[in-house]
Amino acid sequence: MVAAVSKLMRNQDLILVAQKCRVISRFRNTLGLPGRMAVRLQPNHPTDDPAGIAASIVDGLMYGSGDAVIGINPASDSLSAIGSLLRLIDDLRQRYAVPTQSCVLTHVTNTLRAIDQGAPVDLVFQSVAGTQQANASFGIDLAVLREAHAAAQSLRRGTVGDNVMYFETGQGSALSAGAHHGVDQQTLEARAYAVAREFRPLLVNTVVGFIGPEYLYDGKQILRAGLEDHFCGKLLGMPMGCDICYTNHAEADQDDMDNLLTLLGVAGVHFIMGVPGADDIMLNYQSTSFHDALYVRQVLGKRRAPEFEDWLMGMGIADAQGRIAPPRAGQPLLDFAMQR
Amino acid sequence: MSPVDTKPSSQTEPGPPPEPRANTAAPDPWEHLRSFTRARIALGRSGASQPTRALLDFGLAHAQARDAVHTPLDAAALHAALVTAGFGPPLLAHSAAADLGRQLDPASRAALAALQAQACDVLFVIADGLSARAAQTHAVPLLQHTLPRLPPDWRIGPVLIASQARVALGDEIGALLRARQVVMLIGERPGLSSPDSLGLYLTHAPRADLTDADRNCISNVRPEGLPYAQAAHKLAYLLIGARRLGRTGVDLKDDSEAALEQAPQPPLWPTGLG
């Protein structure tokens, strides 16, 4: 129903309705309050090098990003590498008392193993899709998601809430897996939100332009899909964010990202990505940068999660208006990167 | 540091006051961190915006990545490189473009079927994917690093060069050539900072109805990313592990780094594995 309605709506309708939806989620901070927008700090590195990742995290925090989550896509699926990355973010978070959450975006079965081994897991990540067969192609079913949800909740690491799941979706995933049963991309995308909804997630992210031009051909199609996904997710009560992005074989560029970023800002997007210079050097695609997030905050007056906003002021990184302050001499965050 | 109890101003101004004017963009005082990563960090800013230099660098890199997508595979040069490196003459295969690179065209299918190939333990397919340059540059050295790490009694099938190919094309090729495992060495989607990144996709018992959950992937193979020796170590670890487990996919976990710590020298395979 939600997907069908989205197809009857113009872009302005998708924005108008989504803007009215209120979805609030909590773990170590409060996301989705009116007039707010969060950013996932995405400090990926092609070989998971701790010093490289720490440098990108510091860069993002100094630009006021990271309230949604500090979330690393690991290059390696190895459990030892995943554990090291989790400890890296957790060290930083504890040392500087950063009111945010961490995530290493690996397969749910790897996260379960990490929890078993005592790694500091805040959020469980998993890509989900809108058919059982497509989820099977991701190597998951509802039972394993339930198991992971229960395992993460049992750790009781959240301070202001217990939303522990981070899901990613995107139109075309079922088609790509040959698991679409002839159903259109957007209906299946809305069904993916129904999967997510079972687990009261902190974050749901449509990685809208990542799938490539076979599914969303150019900037215009990516823009439309991003607005549809955000609308459908919000209407289904999801804390809907968007990785506003494209790949280098799609007919799109950074101007298209500016357009979608601005429209989703107006629509009240829960969170966006913050990637250094918008260039993900591990996943090899372009998203939105820390600077892009500052642009939306400036033109639309969007503020950060309140706990994170307070922390940035306390660290002397941002001023009372949320603008990035001139760098403070002896900024302790810079020590962290040098010690890796 | 602990959080400070200062609350932000609760009154929202209609618009923030203008940034102080500056003639040049302000640099970030953490430029020294750039030595740790190729990520575009410490770009500086003018107000909240990227400086012009960063903008122009990005535009140039995007143009180069677009060029990499559109550069075709030079199969003749790759053929010559394989022969020079001591591999037998490679077989050629083309995809049926109508299926976006996942199925062979009828002529290639007939030609491979007509070979009536002898069963092999592992088959390597070099494919252009989305960066022919990656396949062209890195596939042969990666193979040279990998073969010595495999059990000596394994039968290695003939190397294939596949054009206009996607990962799943290896399934059909592997089935036709009766491979117990197939490895696609395929050009990954070019990034702004890495137009020549090679991906390795490993599939046990290849056949037509498999999905990505049935594979394992090693990404970003290139000297500036995952160097050949490390990639070959991981690949051999997974191939041997898949043989033991009887499948690839999400059940096969990459614990090769731990294995490297425990037993840094090959051979990694248990004696008597056949």
List pLDDT tens digits, range B73-91: 999 999 999 999 999 889 9
List pLDDT tens digits, range B31-68: 999 999 999 999 999 999 999 999 999 999 999 899 88
Which pLDDT score, from 0 to 100, does residue B14 have? 52
Task: List the structure tokens of B14.
Answer: 């209609």
Q: Which chain A residues have a beta carbon less than 8 Å from that of B188?
A: 284
φ, ψ for residue B147, nearest 5 deg = -55, -40
Q: Which chain A residues have a beta carbon less than 8 Å from that of B28?
A: 59, 62, 327
pLDDT at B156 over 90: yes
Number of helical H runs and strand E runs in chain B: 7, 6
Which residues of B, range 148-187, sit inside 8 Å of A by Cβ? none
Q: Do B194 and A298 touch (CB under 8 A)?
A: no
Residue A335 identity: D
Sign of CA dihedral A126, A113, A27, A322: negative
Which residues of A, range 176-215, sit inside 8 Å of B by Cβ? 177-179, 212, 214
Q: Do B39 and A279 touch (CB under 8 A)?
A: yes
Which positions ≥6 away from A171 have C-beta within 8 Å? A185, A186, A188, A189, A206, A208, A211, A215, A216, A225, A228, A229
pLDDT at B266 over 80: no
Q: Cα separation of A32 and A28, whole Å?
A: 13
Q: Cα separation of B132 and B186, whole Å?
A: 8
Q: Which chain A residues have a beta carbon less than 8 Å from that of B254?
A: 76-78
Sign of CA dihedral A274, A278, A279, A283: positive
Q: What does the DSSP assignment read for A239-268?
A: -EEE---B-TTSB--HHHHHHHHHHHHHHT
**What are the CA-CA distances from residue A238 to residues A79, A244, A291, B178 (Å)?**
30, 17, 26, 47
Which residues of B, range 197-256, sit inside 8 Å of A by Cβ? 197, 211-213, 219-220, 224-226, 249-250, 253-256
Distance of CA B170 to the CA centre of its chain: 15
Neighbour tally for B271: CB within 10 Å:
6
- Give the pLDDT band of residue B8 (cuts 50, 70, 90): very low
Number of helical H runs and strand E runs in chain A: 14, 12
List pLDDT tens digits, range B222-263: 998 889 999 999 999 999 999 998 888 877 877 776 665 544
Cis peptide before B267 (omega within 30 of 0): yes
Give the CA radius of gyration of chain B. Answer: 24
**What are the CA-CA distances from residue A244 to residues A34, A153, B82 (Å)?**
21, 30, 41
ipTM score for this prediction: 0.96
Interface residue of B196, B250, B257, B262 to substitute, partner A, most A CBs within 10 Å: B250
Quick one: which of A93, A92, A195 has its CA closest to A140? A195
